[in-house]
Structure 1
């Protein structure tokens, strides 16, 4: 590997003077210095791989192979992989990291070979200058001095290393498998496609959230500022907002465990709209309903897969990770999010009007099933023209279930109107799914009773047939 030794200080800043001190120490002093100022090796190129000289490979291929080595060997501290990106916005963000001791960025041509003793790259150094007249001195808190390391450089950062978290070696394969399952057209493959899509979206949402979290000020600095403010100190409006909006370890843990917490965070950051968040959270619930509960109609699963493919494709294309490279056995150019965009919906005719008609048909079918169940329940309860049930019926589970069904009769006209209205929701996919989801939530609360009543009626019918046959 080609790389550099670095040492960080307690504030999370690169400390070159500590590294120099390590080189100057000998014997027992050297051992103590190693404990006090541990060094890390930051790798930024790969020169040999399993005995093969890689210096003649283009940089994009060497970089992909280097990331594969880190991923395969699960390398972590004191090994570190230098961040890499082709996104201009990410580079601009990095150039603001002077407070952590970063000198600048290096530009390399993706197709260049590694040439020893030849500078085949360009370096852009950050320079910060100012003029001041010093008339006295007071103790300066590190946030006032600008020494505020962002999370990847902080000792209490609890994410997987940024570089390791951005290994997407399987992403193109998963997209191909989603397409294969969706195009098979049968119920089993549609269920599998829905599960894979949900996993893909969770990964993209998780990576997007981690990329945003990485640019936070370190937890330790935020805690110092909070203690200072709580003790009566005055923070600027900007610093006070940093404290209030900081995502601490507890919330990060909740985000790790729950998709809706991640989508909430991204909505607050302006990455997702409120409608997109609602649709993604509900599609995640549909995945659970299809896989764990088996409560979705096969035709509905097929349409949900198509909708999920469109939305997932949008997310993949929109995502801008801190470092995106895909390692592959094929020495092809590095895959970027923009190149992946469109693969999920390649060859698919996304006709929102046609989808509106299908979701309308699903909704009408479900509303009609509820209407029939309500009519049967009222008949069994002996409901009269005044809406009152037979008072002589026992107060048992069966009667309570039938009463619950009968009570939703007043909502049936509204549900029917909502179902019919889906045909006109053709402006966008999200605009179609939101009213369908709202109706779905209402129907989902009563449909368990509808299914239970159907089972009871089937049992009664089978029992009557057995009696007629003399069984």
Structure 2
């Protein structure tokens, strides 16, 4: 008996009855409950896991929302072929109009592949179909950028992790609120959800709304504080980059901040002979952009809509980082070069001292 129990506990194959009794919505709900548990604990490591789970939940919801929009695509493609055959050898305007209309309804295989496999394409497609608002689609794409850094590059923005996780939690809750199970095909969805054993007497409640109320219960965000945290961190980074440009200008012999910025944006891919050549070089960003980003961040109102605030914040941050990284890299490379030159001078002095000592020893031997 004990051996049978042991063998059964090691059986990793799912019971078909258990597997098919769990709907896809149950799986999503369990995942988001785990997110809530991690958020309550609140350590940086747990927030990172919660963020990745939130991103997955967002993509899963978008993926499931594609089905009602794409269910007729194959049928529309068949109709398009029929109209392609019909327009051969005719210039009838009515037939051509039908062909163009049919063509506009078909999503090509190449486009379909992009939608199915790319997060941003899903968001853009659902935005175009009116299933996502502009603010929601924008925030999803910006938030997914942070997830990619965590997941693929092991780069976690610990300074703003709490703030962006709060924003993503709220965005996903909004997605779940709009998640309509009845639009999903029952073959993929599984059995319907009932909220109690007494289905006849129970007043029906949408399970998505019920889940969101459960998720939000006990978790309250001070959105002006969250927005203020994001604003403060980015303003500090912009100020630090401006200071770095000033230091670089001193290290390079007071060539001017514009020359420093041009060098930072070109020195790795397009070596130049000196400041004169750099002056006429066209680059994406100048010192005026730094001050413009600083002004835009300063104008952001933390007391307004937090999703819209985040979208404006993320837009400025993404543009700014295209300059922040090369400026930081230039300083690091100059410091490495300086350290190498110092080490070389020390080593040259050691060799010279050894040669002199060796020469003196030869003289004594003679």
TM-score under structure 1 normalisation?
A: 0.55
Aligned counterpart for 1:298 among listed residues 139, 150, 158: 158
Larger % of strand: which?
1
Preserved contact between residue 309 and residue 344 of structure 1 (Cα < 8 Å):
no
Distance 1:429 1:231, change over 3 A: farther
Is residue 308 from structure 1 mapped to residue 179 from structure 2 by the alignment?
no
1:115 — aligned with what? none
Cα distance, 1:465 vs. partner?
10
Is residue 412 from structure 1 mapped to residue 326 from structure 2 by the alignment?
no
Cα distance, 1:236 vs. partner?
9.3
Distance 1:66 1:338 in 2: 27
Distance 1:396 1:263, change over 3 A: closer
Distance 1:386 1:420 in 2: 23
RCO higher in structure (CA 8 A, sep ≥6): 2
TM-score under structure 2 normalisation?
A: 0.69
Preserved contact between residue 378 and residue 406 of structure 1 (Cα < 8 Å):
no
Distance 1:214 1:357 in 2: 44
Is residue 206 from structure 1 mapped to residue 83 from structure 2 by the alignment?
no
Distance 1:331 1:463 in 2: 72
Is residue 448 from structure 1 mapped to residue 319 from structure 2 by the alignment?
no
Distance 1:305 1:220, change over 3 A: same
Q: State the Cα deviation string for residues 190-228 of structure 1 (Å, max 9, x = none).
A: 221111111100000011111221255713223223432
Q: State the Cα deviation string for residues 115-162 of structure 1 (Å, max 9, x = none).
A: xxxxxxxxxxxxxxxxxxxxxxxxxxxxxxxxxxxxxxxxxxxxxxxx
Is residue 378 from structure 1 mapped to residue 242 from structure 2 by the alignment?
no
Cα distance, 1:463 vs. partner?
7.5
The within-5 A match list for 1:16-27 is: none
Is residue 172 from structure 1 mapped to residue 29 from structure 2 by the alignment?
yes
1:431 — aligned with what? 308
Distance 1:189 1:171 in 2: 19
Distance 1:376 1:437 in 2: 27
Q: State the Cα deviation string for residues 417-457 of structure 1 (Å, max 9, x = none).
A: 112122x1533122101211111111121222244245447
Residues matched between the structures, number: 305
Distance 1:70 1:249, change over 3 A: farther
Distance 2:71 2:125 in 1: 13
Larger % of helix: which?
2
Distance 2:232 2:117 in 1: 35
1:223 — aligned with what? 81
Distance 1:184 1:227, change over 3 A: farther
Q: State the Cα deviation string for residues 26-61 of structure 1 (Å, max 9, x = none).
A: xxxxxxxxxxxxxxxxxxxxxxxxxxxxxxxxxxxx
Distance 2:229 2:241 in 1: 19
Cα distance, 1:348 vs. partner?
1.9
